[in-house]
Amino acid sequence: MNVEVLLEEIISFIGIYYILTAGLNVKAGMTGIPDFGHAMFFAVGGIVVGNLSARIAAAAAASQLHVSAWQAVKMVISNNTELMARVNEILPHMPGVSIIIILFSVIAALILGGLLGWLASYPALRLRGDYLAIMLLAASEGTRIFAMYYKPLMGKTPTVGLTVPNAFGFTGNAGLWSTIFILILALLVYIYAERLYHSPSGRLFRAVRDDEASAEAIGKDIAKVRRDAMIIGSALAALAGVAYSFSPWIAGSSVAAISIFDRVLWTFWPWALMILGGMSSNKGAALSSVILGALLIGPIRIYKNDIAAALHVESLGIDPGNFANALEYILVAALIIIVLFVKPKGLIPEYPSRTVSKDEVKATIDKIARERAA
Amino acid sequence: MDSQEPIMKLENVNAGYEKLQTLFDISLEIPRGKITVIVGPNGAGKSTLLKTLFGLTTVYSGKVLFEGKDITHMPPHERAKLGMAFIFQLNNIFANLTVIENLKLAGHDLSKEELEKRIEEVFETFPRLRERMHQKAGTMSGGERQMLAMGIGMIRKPKLFLIDEPTAGLAPKIAKEVLANVKKLNEQGYTVVLVEQNVKAGLEIGHKGVLVVSGRIVFDGPAEQLLARKDLAKLYLGLAV
Amino acid sequence: MDWNLFTSTTIYASVLALLSLGITLIYMTTKVFNFAHPRLSLVAAYAAATLMAYYAEATGAQPNLTPKHSFLGSLTVPFSWEFYAIGILVSMVFGVIAALVEYYAILKPLQKRGADYLMLMIATLAYDFLLVATLFIYNTHVDVRKVLARIGVLSTKMSMASYDVTVVTGGGVFISGSFIFSVILIVLLGLSLYILLFKTTLGVKMRASVENPPLAEVLGINVERVYAISWIISGLTAGLAGYLMLMAAGAGNLKPISATSPADEIVVSAFAGSIIGGVNSVFGSIVGGLLIGYIELYIPNWLAIWTGNAELFKYSKVISMLAVAITLLFAPEGLAGLLKGERWKRFFGKKEEEG
């Protein structure tokens, strides 16, 4: 594997996971909504790209395929693989359409993700704690099964899914430019999350998490706060789904219900990253994504077979391929357990936020002292 | 042992919850066979004082003696073995178990005959419990629950009952009934320390009255004497000494 | 009535009931939803299958699929009874071991450090991952493959359904051993739990410790021992569920056993059973698990017949998700809360409201 591809995969992995974890952080870390159905919102991004954006691409390429735009749009579901193979040959020659598709995907994912989050906030207003966690897990599983077999959504075969439009083909180096795209998205999300954390709504999120009764007593609408957090967090998760669908990991192949709804990859992993980084800590989420992406996951995903070979596991009768797969599970599990035992507050624990800076306090005190003296 | 000897003694005790000191230089004697009533305004430390007797607080200095033995640093479950029974203000019964199951549970380490004998004693003291024997404890009224809580305590035949605000949250009529039951308990020969929010009703059934204000004892003497003091209201509010 | 649908649904429903019961017991004592629960069954199933295969190898037993005559009809017992006894025993033992390791090595130490419900839930996930990894390595191990292959079982897609005891009655009705076993198991389990909880002193202590641990401790009850017993029962039932998964692979929504299946597919159904039962009700969880099993298979079946669209079967598991949503949103106390009346409340151990 060449270095450039490796770097692209690692960086896009970091970007995708950071966005996904930042979304979870708004819900679970900051507002205390234990979302164990995060994958469902991530999947929205995959569906947007594989289904909606592909239809735009098909419509745009229709004339060159000698079919009507309407027929092409319908074929996205009925003849996905064949149609998209042709579309993806044409799309690189249509930079304008490609850019529209990328922008559309981002906006549609934010809106639809937010919408699904708004729907899912209904139980979040009525349930608390572990009940809510199970409720959201069940909702995610239900949606997964529905998406898997509902053909108009994810195509005819749940394991094959829908081929994504090659929207970065026009750049000549899809791997590089999609990685840059993901990196930019991640940076924007980072800036947004930092601002959100220190904004009045961010403080309100945390107030609701820490002491619901008091937040309510000072006249804050708890229901609205939780709803907002669900909308923002879920929209970010859907954005991560778009990033993933365009990433070098997919590299123009397909998004399938079986992979984009995977609860281990898109729910439990971000949970692990959030806990590792420190609940509600945005910097922590970023740091843990970088650590895992750069130091562990990239190399482990890519070199796990070499690791297995180096350890000579086959001499113990162990299958090297499966040992390599197991390594990834062991890594997440060990990481979570070690963090829970050794650093339960994460790498960058949340610090009590100062509403007024030290200097301001000092200035006020000085002012009062001067007035007294006068 | 001389019955005039106090069953429990506090000597210059400073205590609180972890680092928060709420009791200051407390010295107190609990007379055997009597009802000692601790009263005081909210947050004065009366419940803390009771919990200190049972080892549920941190004692920084001073001594806690039970029948002359130093128990200052003894954990609660060992004090229970010495013969102290603490009745919590809330959650002092098993709501999902029947009355008889509650009582049997309290005497789970007794022989069958002994347990039956003691349950009979409880039923004689509180006949209402016999009527409700197979009813789930959670379905009983507040007054009956306190009755059962005392019954659970009686099964273990403690030398000392520590009862924390048993009338909290109860209607006045039922509160009166609960205090009458505390008196009944005492008439069975049990020594009682009672923390009570209703000063008058509490002191009326007590022998000894203790008034705690701001973590200090401001009165310690016969209950009727405290009750009769014209400046009780002032004392209570910490305005006079 | 479709007899095959009924028997396979019953087996599936019993598996869910066993798992729901364990999830409920753990929730009642340790206050955590144990995500790793169905995985304990897989561990037990692998242990059982391996030892059953070793037994067959050591005794030189070959599967004998010729039916014998019996008073029930023609009876097929492919291996000796010891073969099955070993499977049941080993699955119970390994279910318990896997459960106790989870409790004593991970959850209890975390609780002592003051972990909240989220941390505990995440910890059960982590344990689940560890078990998956272990099974990944185990089920592709050369020796495991070999010994299982000798009795014709594929280690990464494990099923012993062909070695299940079967009876074909004179009337031509087919009855599998797993069906009989699961019916007897659920009845016995319900009865023995009823006797344990309501007729013995230990049961009273257990209920007391669950309801009010501080008071129980003040009365000198060993609350810790009660919790350990709950975990042992949970492990035991998870193990038995694993044995059923092995012997009745293919029944209902039970896929053949691998490191991930069928645990990943049924984990939410098992939670559904526990939640519909009322989360804090032992008997509610058994009834809830059974109920989920039946509706998950019967409702799509009826719908498919009614609409003539067999595709609907694929959505069967959506039903249990819907059941969870409806229960949590509209009747959070589950079945135990819906059934009013003193006798039912007592039976289901409904939580009384304070005050």
The CATH number for A242's domain is 1.10.3470
Residue A266 has pLDDT above 60, yes or no: yes
pLDDT digits (tens, 9 = 90+) for C319-354: 888 888 888 888 877 777 766 444 444 444 444 433
- Least trusted range by pLDDT, from A14-23, B44-53, B230-239: B230-239
Task: Kindly report the nearest CA distance between residue A130 and chain C, in angstroms.
Answer: 7
| The pair of three-digit structure tokens given for residue C314, joined into one six-digit string | 């694929």
pLDDT digits (tens, 9 = 90+) for B149-199: 999 989 988 999 999 999 888 888 888 989 999 998 999 899 999 999 888
Distance CA(A240)–CA(A186), nearest Å, equals 9
Residue A303 has pLDDT above 80, yes or no: no
- In this prediction, residue A209 carries a pLDDT of 86
Residue A353 has pLDDT above 60, yes or no: no
For chains B and A, having 3+ Cβ pairs within 8 Å is answered: no
Q: Please identify among residues 257-286 of chain A the ones whose CB lies closer than 8 Å to any CB of chain C.
A: 264, 268, 271-272, 275
- In this prediction, residue C183 carries a pLDDT of 97
CATH (residue range C3-348) = 1.10.3470
Q: Please identify among residues 6-65 of chain B the ones whose CB lies closer than 8 Å to any CB of chain C.
A: none
* Range A178-184 average pLDDT: 96
Q: Write down the ipTM of this complex.
A: 0.85
Q: How many CB atoms lie within 10 A of CB A262?
A: 18
Distance CA(C124)–CA(C131), nearest Å, equals 11
- In this prediction, residue A358 carries a pLDDT of 67
pLDDT digits (tens, 9 = 90+) for C166-197: 999 888 888 999 999 999 999 999 999 999 99
- % pLDDT > 70, chain C: 95
* Range A292-308 average pLDDT: 75
User: Which 3-state string (H, E, C) describes chain A?
Assistant: CCHHHHHHHHHHHHHHHHHHHHHHHHHHHHCCCCCCCHHHHHHHHHHHHHHHHHHHHHHHHHHHHCCCHHHHHHHHHHCHHHHHHHHHHHHHHCHHHHHHHHHHHHHHHHHHHHHHHHHHHHHHHHCCHHHHHHHHHHHHHHHHHHHHHCHHHHCCCCCCCEECCCCCHHHCCHHHHHHHHHHHHHHHHHHHHHHHHHCHHHHHHHHHHHCHHHHHHCCCCHHHHHHHHHHHHHHHHHHHHHHHHHCCCCCCCEECHHHHCCHHHHHHHHHHHHHHHCCCCHHHHHHHHHHHHHHHHHHHHHHHHHHHHHCCHHHHCCCHHHHHHHHHHHHHHHHHHHHHHHCCCCCCCCCCCCCCCHHHHHHHHHHHHHHHHC
Distance CA(A162)–CA(A80), nearest Å, equals 6
Q: What is the mean pLDDT of chain C?
A: 89
Distance CA(C263)–CA(C45), nearest Å, equals 11
Range from A354-368, B222-236, C14-28, C334-348 that averages highest in pLDDT? C14-28
Domain presence at residue A370: no
Which sequence spans correspond to the domains of chain B?
Answer: 1-83+162-168+190-241
* Range B2-11 average pLDDT: 83
Which of the 8 DSSP states describes residue C311? Answer: G
- In this prediction, residue B240 carries a pLDDT of 57
- % pLDDT > 70, chain A: 96
Q: Indicate the pLDDT class of residue A362, thresholds 50, 70 and 90.
A: confident
Peptide bond preceding A158: is omega within 30 degrees of 0, i.e. cis?
A: no
- In this prediction, residue C242 carries a pLDDT of 97
> How many domains does chain A fold into?
1
pLDDT digits (tens, 9 = 90+) for B110-155: 899 999 999 999 999 899 999 999 999 999 988 899 899 999 989 9
- In this prediction, residue C350 carries a pLDDT of 43
- In this prediction, residue C355 carries a pLDDT of 31
- In this prediction, residue A148 carries a pLDDT of 87
Which residue in this structure is represented by tokens 């995060």? A38
H helices of chain C, in order, are 3-30, 37-59, 81-101, 108-112, 117-139, 142-150, 177-199, 201-211, 213-218, 223-247, 263-277, 282-307, 316-330, 334-338, 342-348
Q: Please identify among residues 319-338 of chain C the ones whose CB lies closer than 8 Å to any CB of chain A.
A: 320-322, 324-325, 328-329, 332
Task: Kindly report the nearest CA distance between residue C117 and chain B, in angstroms.
Answer: 22
- % pLDDT > 90, chain C: 59
Distance CA(A123)–CA(B166), nearest Å, equals 39
Residue A216 has pLDDT above 60, yes or no: yes
Distance CA(C348)–CA(C333), nearest Å, equals 11
Q: Indicate the pLDDT class of residue A331, thresholds 50, 70 and 90.
A: confident
* Range C98-113 average pLDDT: 95
| The pair of three-digit structure tokens given for residue B238, joined into one six-digit string | 């910490």
Nearby residues of B165 by Cβ (< 8 Å), 6 or more positions away: B47, B89, B195, B196, B197
Q: What is the mean pLDDT of chain A?
A: 88
Which of A131, A319, A333 lies closest to C133 in CB terms?
Answer: A333
* Range A251-270 average pLDDT: 87
- In this prediction, residue C295 carries a pLDDT of 93
Residue A178 has pLDDT above 50, yes or no: yes
C331 touches C337 (CB < 8 A): yes
- In this prediction, residue A314 carries a pLDDT of 81
Residue A158 has pLDDT above 50, yes or no: yes
CB A271 to CB C113 under 8 A?
Answer: no
C317–A contact, CB cutoff 8 A: yes
Distance CA(A351)–CA(A30), nearest Å, equals 12
Task: Kindly report the nearest CA distance between residue C346 and chain B, in angstroms.
Answer: 8
pLDDT digits (tens, 9 = 90+) for A71-128: 999 999 988 989 999 999 999 999 999 999 999 999 999 999 999 999 999 887 788 7
Domain presence at residue A374: no
Which of A123, A148, A326 lies closest to C136 in CB terms?
Answer: A326
CATH (residue range B1-83+162-168+190-241) = 3.40.50.300
B54 touches B79 (CB < 8 A): yes
Domain presence at residue A363: no
Instruction: Tell me which chain C residue has its CA closest to the CA of residue B138.
Output: C352
Q: Residue A307 belongs to what domain range?
A: 3-354
pLDDT digits (tens, 9 = 90+) for A127-148: 878 888 888 998 998 899 889 8
Distance CA(C67)–CA(C175), nearest Å, equals 13
Q: Which residues of C touch B (CB under 8 A)?
A: 201, 204-205, 207-208, 211-212, 214-221, 342, 345-346, 349-355
Most B-contacting residue of C218, C281, C348 (CB-CB within 10 A), to test interface: C218
C112–A contact, CB cutoff 8 A: no
Domain presence at residue A320: yes
Which of B80, B91, B109 lies closest to C212 in CB terms?
Answer: B91
Residue C100 has pLDDT above 60, yes or no: yes
Which of C205, C211, C342 lies closest to B96 in CB terms?
Answer: C211
A124–C contact, CB cutoff 8 A: no
Q: H/E element holding B235?
A: helix B232-236
pLDDT digits (tens, 9 = 90+) for C118-156: 899 999 999 999 999 999 999 999 999 999 999 999 999
- In this prediction, residue C128 carries a pLDDT of 95
CB A130 to CB C32 under 8 A?
Answer: yes
Q: Which residue has the higher pLDDT, A331 or B119?
A: B119
- In this prediction, residue C1 carries a pLDDT of 66
Task: Kindly report the nearest CA distance between residue A149 and chain C, in angstroms.
Answer: 7
Distance CA(B95)–CA(B11), nearest Å, equals 38
Q: Indicate the pLDDT class of residue C315, thresholds 50, 70 and 90.
A: confident
pLDDT digits (tens, 9 = 90+) for B20-69: 889 999 999 999 999 999 998 888 889 999 999 998 888 999 999 999 99
Residue B19 has pLDDT above 80, yes or no: no
User: Burial code of C235-259, b = ≥16 C-beta within 10 A, e = fewer?
Assistant: bbbbbbbbbbbbbbbebbbbbbbbb
